[in-house]
Amino acid sequence: MSTLWELIANAVKFIFPAYCANAIPVLTGGGLPLDLGKKFFDGKPIFGRNKTFRGFLSGLTIGTIAGFAEAAIFQEYQSIGYFGFLLSLGALLGDLAGAFLKRRLGIAPGGLLPIVDQVDFVVGALIFSIPLRVLYLELTLSVLVITPPLHMATNFAAYKLGLKSSPW
């Protein structure tokens, strides 16, 4: 039986590439939107102006590098060379799914959609990690429990540092 701190440490270590992929676009984003400014058939933006090619590619790159670094440091997931890539891709696609949903609900880019804003990227990362066969129930639940407060705290810090225009 794992202690609470071991569960938290394992959860953070596992999901760290996805956290990196989700956070880096705040620093590196901007430029051409992924949806090219196009509208969905409902007349609303597909993803919105905040989801850009530069942000997506930088998130994928940094998250992948974080995965390789973890494999080297912790000697885990080393047989899975694309661990960081899959978690990062899943995180970014999960975040895009959340943005798509928010646009359908009429919530502007940067607007708040509680729960979805805190877990969309993690759910995407977890789904994309399934083929790696490294998930187990305790790990999944730990990731889902620790992510919302960590996400809110880091977003608030980014807001206070002037990196984000909203605290969520």
Q: What is the pLDDT of residues 52-66, one digit of tens each?
A: 999 999 999 999 999
- Is the pLDDT at 80 greater than 80? The verdict is no
Surface-to-core class of residue 165, CB atoms within 10 Å of its CB (0-12 exposed, 13-18 middle, 19+ buried):
exposed
- Kindly report whether the global pTM for this prediction surpasses the value 0.85: yes
How far apart CA 119 and CA 31 sit, in angstroms, is: 25
Q: What is the pLDDT of residue 78?
A: 56
Q: What is the pLDDT of residue 168?
A: 82
How far apart CA 168 and CA 160 sit, in angstroms, is: 11
Averaged pLDDT score across all residues of the chain: 92
In the chain, the percentage of residues whose pLDDT exceeds 70 is 96
- Is the pLDDT at 32 greater than 70? The verdict is yes
Surface-to-core class of residue 10, CB atoms within 10 Å of its CB (0-12 exposed, 13-18 middle, 19+ buried):
middle
Q: What is the pLDDT of residue 54?
A: 97
Q: What is the pLDDT of residue 122?
A: 97
Beta-carbon contacts of residue 7 (< 8 Å; ≥ 6 apart): 138, 139, 142
